[in-house]
Chains A and B, each alone.
Chain A
Amino acid sequence: MKFDKYEWTAISIMVSLFILVGFVQSWSVSLVILNMCIISAIMTMGVNISWGYAGVINFGVMGFLAMGGLAAVLVSYPPIKESWQVGGFGLGISFILLVSLVTAVYFINKLVEKKSHKYWLNGLVIFFGLLIIRYFFLNATSKIEEVDPALAGFLGGANLPIIFSWVVGGFFAAGVAFIIGKVALGLRSDYLAIVTLGISEIVVSVLKHEEWLSRGVKNVIGLKRPVPYEINLQSSDWFINLVIWFNSSKLNQIIDLDQKQQILNNLIINSSSLLVKLNYAILFFIVMIIIYYFANKAQISPWGRMMRAIRDNEVSANAMGKDIVKQHLIIFVIGAAIVGVAGAMLVTLDGLFTPSGYRPLRFTFIVWIMVIVGGSGNNLGAIFGGFVIWFAWIEVAPITTFLINLFTSGLDPQNAVRIHLLNSVPYFRYLLMGLVLLLILRYRPKGIIPEKVRHS
């Protein structure tokens, strides 16, 4: 992993921006942005692997993120025993029935020769099979949803540390991606974009409305944390001593004891929240570095070379005996899995799972803008894109407010235009994102840090 001059410049600009925010706004803001930047960078790497390496378009980012989020809930939430008692049996039966339905369809497809017979038989079996499953399933789920609807009303999870969900989330997303890939890969790229976008909408709407599984629009709150709680930190001696040691010069100047204690308390509260955020940042950073390391290794490996060959010229790669359909499926699944990891991390950071929060504009298109802006095909570029775009996404609001105030300073503060503009500050970020995307696509189509051409 050797960076050239240009890449070092990009990295140092990003670092100095965070330091600048730390000094100008506050370190807390800086860390909050940093955490989301790292998660965005992981999402972008996931997309970059399928799009940048192999040219497989994946507009289902939102769905895979949501699957990761679901994993976070299912892994960490304590199981709700009552729900399992009332609905577990029915769910089990419907699951067994579903498996037998799938095997039945599989054998019909294998054994029946004539095509028209096949369609009819399949249709009939699926229709009546689903009807029977529906009966057991709806019974079970409605019972589950009736269990203490205000607090529970779903199955709960496995009560494991939430950090496991980062892996599980990857597998969840990979599973969904496998099904999507089996169905949709092989379509033309713009069809594939539309289909993946649509399927991700379906995934999210399932999570929104299957309350027995994910609590739906009632959201799951109070998830566990992989890092200590602020309250616990504030009462532990080592932390208080650390804060005192850290600020000793400042505290020593104050003579009044009461005042000293008050300042110390404030410092402890502030630094506990800072430390928690820093812990998150460190954890996320480790994950990012691991993924980056392997993604880079994969890119320069023979496998990566094959992927580039497939991307650049499918026909000749096929002529060289590469199984394109299979490789496309593999890389689509890998990319989705990484996005799933990011989804689990996102929910871990928030501590809550809100299925209705998954919107394509925010979770699919912005991630794509990150990839395009950063530089598709280059992992560092993808990370950089994630950082820059998320940073801009957050910082546009204060900057626009400042600019609007500056330009309308001649106007009366109650001026309708001025108030209207100030009210629509949040929408300027969409404007900026669109303009950035258009400009980059026009004048630097390979992204800010373009892919390196390797001659090997």
Chain B
Amino acid sequence: MIDFINSIVVLLNFIIIPGLSYGPQLALGALGVTFVYAILRFANFAHGELMSFGAMITILFTWFFQSQNIGLGVLPTALLALPFGILATILLGLVSDKFVFKYYRTQKSVPVVLAMVSIGVMFVVNAVIRIIIGTNTIKFSDGQKFIMKAKEFKIMTGLNEGLALKSSQVITILITIALVTFTFWFLQKTKTGKSMRAFSDNEDLALLSGISPDRVVFITWLIVGTLACVAGTLYGLDKSYKPIIYLNLVLPIFASAIVGGIGSPFGAVVGGYIIAFSEITVTYAYKKFFKYLLPDSLEPSSLVQLLSTDYKFAVSFTILVIVLLIRPSGIFRGKVL
């Protein structure tokens, strides 16, 4: 029985908790991508840089607050700086829309051209970030790091295996729940949210019924900026901030959005979790888990690992390709908000 509990703890510690905290980061990113896709109708390659930009501004404000000795006690200072980061990200989104995307929208360009344009924006934002903050790895989480340390858990329960719970993981999960709930409430219940869904569903009909496109676009960037900044900051808090990571993160985010059904917010969240969990479960070495479950004679000699961790990114893409082959519109029949 103890062995069984031990094995469950191993799973919790190495798969479920990391998955639960990595999933929301992808999900928030995918939600942003899906919003842009559903309302502005293009695949935004610059989304990763938007996240990175938000995280960068948050870091700058965190540094400022730290130098002024303003803090939140046990909570990371970054949470205090987050609103400023969100404002800056929204501003960046609006500026890029005003000076770049709007022109192509009024021209009714094909989506591919807009995707190219977003690559241009990606390069510019990327360069600005690197010029401002450099390319080094930055750790900016402070406050209490662990809610529960592996050692404390061992002493508390008397089990062989430890269970660690980082505060950044709990913060990630809580903020994500709050943000996602708010987004869904907004889309389903408020008038603006409904008008956005109408706009996404049928632009011409929405315009005919008096919905202002400028307002819809404005609100979209508000939401996208908020989501991107929060996702970027949470990822940076949990792992660490490094500009180049966000470029690599774009691909799993796109995978999450498409797997869930691009354009469907619910799909984006589910997709984020699917990608996160499959990346972790496929590359985890289950040796320890089976050691507890199986009798000694059957103990596995190898690592019992399906794929080496080097292929983490490949996993999300394999899933993406499989989904596109079997069900091109994604799990939740996307395209409409």
On A, residues with C-beta under 8 Å from B are: 57, 183-184, 187-191, 193-195, 197-199, 201-202, 205-206, 208-209, 360-361, 365, 368-369, 372, 421, 423-424, 427-431, 433-435, 437-438, 441-442, 445
Contact = CB atoms under 8 A, between A and B. Distances in A.
Nearest to A57: B112
A183 B325 CA distance: 7
A111 to B, nearest CB: 20
Top 7 closest pairs, chain A to chain B, by CB: A434-B123, A431-B127, A434-B124, A430-B127, A437-B120, A198-B317, A427-B130
Contacts of A424: 130-131, 134
A201 B111 contact: no
Contacts of A369: 119, 123
A317 to B, nearest CB: 17
Interface in B38-76: 42-43
B95 to A, nearest CB: 13
Contacts of B128: 431
Contact of A431 (B124, B251, B254, B321): B124
Interface in B280-337: 308, 310-311, 313-314, 316-318, 320-321, 324-325, 328
Nearest to B243: A427
Interface in B93-133: 100, 103, 110-113, 115-117, 119-128, 130-131
Contacts of A57: 112
A438 B126 contact: no
A427 B111 contact: no
Given A193-B112, A205-B310, A430-B130, A437 B119 contact: yes
A434 B126 contact: yes
A184 B120 contact: no
Nearest to A119: B326
Contact of B321 (A195, A197, A427, A437): A195
A189 B111 contact: yes
B163 interface: no
A191 B318 contact: no
B317 A441 contact: no
Interface residues of B, number: 42
Contacts of B115: 190, 193
- Of B42, B125, B130, B255, the most chain A CB neighbours within 10 A belong to B130
19 contacts: A189-B112, A190-B112, A191-B258, A191-B328, A198-B254, A201-B313, A205-B310, A206-B314, A209-B311, A365-B119, A429-B127, A430-B124, A431-B128, A434-B120, A434-B121, A434-B124, A435-B120, A437-B119, A438-B124
A194 B112 contact: no
A50 to B, nearest CB: 13
Contacts of B206: none
A183 B116 CA distance: 23
B247 interface: yes
B123 A195 contact: no
Contacts, number: 120
B254 A183 contact: no
B253 to A, nearest CB: 10
Contacts of B308: 209
A209 B42 contact: no
A187 B328 CA distance: 8
Given A199-B317, A427-B127, A441 B116 contact: yes
A262 B337 CA distance: 76
Contacts of B247: 360-361
A190 B42 CA distance: 8
A368 B130 contact: no
Contacts of B251: 194, 197-198, 201
Given A190-B43, A435-B124, A441 B113 contact: yes
- Of A183, A194, A433, the most chain B CB neighbours within 10 A belong to A194
Contact of A368 (B119, B313, B316, B318): B119
Contacts of B100: 438, 442
A208 B255 CA distance: 22
B255 A198 contact: yes
Contact of A430 (B103, B126, B310): B126
Contacts of A438: 100, 117, 120-121, 124
Contacts of B123: 365, 369, 430-431, 433-434, 437
Contacts of A208: 310
Contacts of B258: 191, 194
- Of B110, B111, B127, the most chain A CB neighbours within 10 A belong to B127
A434 B127 contact: yes
B311 A205 contact: yes
A434 B311 CA distance: 30
B44 to A, nearest CB: 10
A441 B254 CA distance: 24
Nearest to B315: A202
Contacts of B122: 365, 434
A428 B127 CA distance: 6
A144 B312 CA distance: 24
B131 A427 contact: yes
Interface in B225-258: 247, 251, 254-255, 258
A195 B324 CA distance: 9
Interface string B253-266: 01100100000000
Given A205-B313, A434-B122, A191 B131 contact: no
A177 to B, nearest CB: 15
Contacts of B124: 430-431, 434-435, 438
A282 to B, nearest CB: 34
B43 A441 contact: no
Interface string B125-147: 11110110010000000000000
A417 to B, nearest CB: 11
B314 A202 contact: yes
Contacts of B321: 183-184, 195, 198-199
Nearest to A441: B117
Given A188-B111, A201-B317, A423-B134, 20 more contacts: A189-B112, A190-B43, A190-B112, A191-B43, A195-B321, A198-B321, A199-B317, A205-B310, A205-B313, A209-B308, A209-B310, A360-B247, A368-B119, A427-B127, A431-B124, A431-B127, A431-B131, A438-B120, A438-B124, A442-B103
A404 B103 CA distance: 32
A194 B43 CA distance: 9
B241 to A, nearest CB: 16
A190 B111 contact: yes
Contacts of A445: 113
B120 A441 contact: yes
Contacts of B328: 187, 191
Nearest to A138: B302
Contacts of A184: 321, 324
A442 B121 CA distance: 13
Contacts of A437: 116-117, 119-120, 123
Nearest to A440: B120
Contacts of A183: 321, 325
A433 B247 CA distance: 16
Contacts of A427: 126-127, 130-131
A199 B134 CA distance: 29
